């Protein structure tokens, strides 16, 4: 009798164990959109870290010969991050990282240090290209422009927060795209929640394929620290500037010669527009490419097939067009759709400097938030 009870309990235990095993769920590895297995972050970091660098700059103050002999000239050190884009020693970072520097030192992942030469810089997009005398360096892979970014997409950054925490990794997601009202340059920033602090500026923002999709530039903060809002310059926008810096040491921008402002709800209703996020041409600059082609009151819909919803969109699109190339502008004039073709001129240095909008400073490190409803020159 006892044996029968033991046999029954053993059988019951075996059945329960079998049931549990049959219900066990094995977690699948994360899968990317193209049905390929997403690589482990630590594996990606190991692959891409050798092409990341930290940057230290020194800016010397003015002093006379006596004070220099006795005490030395005072120097201010600043720190930033960057990454190698060419095996012959070209390094990309932010303009504000090296602005005003008398000495620039680049420290590689393996702790080698090199003095860097400034090849070119562009304040409008906050990009700078450096060169170190070294060969066969590891390089990052730049994401293809056709690879569309999406909000919610996983990303990670590598940089040197506060100048000494070299090789720090932080992971987050893309919070939003095309934040091109952050600066007058019309840069369509990537917004992420990746942890960015002082010293991360100029470092790479990677996708989960280990490709650079952006250059970290700034963070929005009310207390001086990271609050989950940071911004990066997308590489598909930056690389045409980088190519100019490498060739000429400076960048040029397309210019139409118009003043524009945002369409409001009442004007959109009067013009039979489906929505108010359009751009109204308010003035044409005399002698500009737009003179005789565009008119005050024109409502810009598209430029070369690219949708124009805000004045910042127009600035971004036109700024990327090579000087002398013609663009096709779809617009509404006096209630009727029209298409106008005109050549793009060159934005002068004076206009780049004076191109300001009614901005308010909001404790934003190295960035400004610009109002969309002011008149802007493009």
Catalytic residue numbers? 96, 126, 201
Question: For 160, what's the count of Cα atoms within 13 Å in the CB-facing half-sphere?
Answer: 22
Length reported for the chain? 378
Q: CA-based diameter of the chain, in Å?
A: 110
Strand-pair partners of 86: 90
> 47, exposed or middle or buried, with CB in 10 Å at 0-12, 13-18, 19+?
middle
For residue 360, give Cα distances in angstroms to 17, 59, 125, 364, 368.
66, 29, 19, 10, 7
Give the sign of the dihedral formed by CA 224, CA 230, CA 234, CA 235: positive
In the numeric block, which tokens belong to residue 46?
Answer: 């190991």
For residue 235, give Cα distances in angstroms to 162, 212, 239, 322.
24, 7, 6, 18
> 310, exposed or middle or buried, with CB in 10 Å at 0-12, 13-18, 19+?
buried
Q: By C-alpha distance, which of 371, 57, 365, 105 is closest to 217?
A: 365
On whether the CB atoms of residues 328 and 344 are closer than 8 A, the answer is no
| DSSP conformation class of 31 | B
On whether the CB atoms of residues 106 and 89 are closer than 8 A, the answer is no
Residues with Cβ within 8 Å of residue 138, at least 6 apart in sequence: 50, 51, 84, 87, 109
On whether the CB atoms of residues 43 and 169 are closer than 8 A, the answer is no
Angle at 367 between CA 83 and CA 254, to 5 degrees: 80
């Amino acid at each position: 009798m006892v044996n029968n009870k033991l046999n029954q309990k053993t059988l019951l235990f075996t059945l329960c164990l079998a049931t549990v095993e049959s219900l066990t769920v094995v977690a699948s590895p994360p899968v990317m959109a193209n049905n390929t297995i997403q690589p482990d972050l630590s594996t990606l970091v190991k692959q891409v870290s050798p092409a990341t660098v930290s940057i230290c700059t020194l800016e010397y103050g003015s002093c006379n010969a006596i004070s220099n002999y006795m005490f030395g000239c005072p120097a201010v050190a600043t720190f930033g991050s960057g990454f190698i884009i060419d095996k012959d020693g070209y390094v990309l970072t932010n303009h504000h990282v090296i602005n005003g520097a008398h000495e620039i030192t680049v420290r590689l992942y393996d702790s080698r240090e090199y003095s860097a030469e400034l090849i070119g810089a562009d304040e409008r997009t906050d990009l700078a290209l450096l060169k170190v005398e070294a060969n066969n360096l590891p390089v990052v892979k730049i994401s293809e422009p056709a690879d569309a970014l999406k909000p919610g997409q996983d990303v990670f950054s590598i940089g040197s927060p506060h100048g000494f925490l070299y090789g720090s990794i932080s992971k987050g997601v893309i919070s939003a795209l095309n934040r091109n009202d952050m600066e007058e340059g019309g840069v369509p920033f990537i917004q992420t929640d990746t942890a960015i602090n002082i010293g991360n500026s100029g470092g790479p923002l990677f996708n989960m394929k280990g490709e650079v999709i952006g250059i970290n530039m700034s963070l929005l903060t009310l207390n001086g620290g990271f609050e989950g809002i940071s911004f990066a310059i997308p590489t598909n926008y930056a690389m045409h500037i980088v190519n100019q810096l490498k060739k000429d040491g400076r960048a040029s921008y397309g210019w139409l010669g118009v003043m524009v402002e945002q369409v409001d709800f009442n004007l959109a209703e009067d013009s039979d527009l489906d929505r108010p996020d359009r751009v109204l041409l308010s003035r044409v600059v005399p002698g500009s490419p737009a003179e005789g082609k565009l008119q005050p009151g024109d409502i810009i819909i598209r430029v070369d097939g690219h949708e124009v919803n805000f004045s910042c969109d127009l600035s971004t699109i036109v700024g990327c067009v090579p000087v002398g190339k013609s663009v096709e502008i779809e617009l509404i004039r006096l209630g009727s759709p029209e298409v106008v073709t005109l050549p793009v001129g060159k934005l002068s240095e004076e206009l780049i400097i004076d191109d300001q909008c009614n901005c308010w400073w909001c404790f934003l490190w190295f960035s400004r938030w610009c109002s969309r409803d002011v008149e802007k020159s493009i």
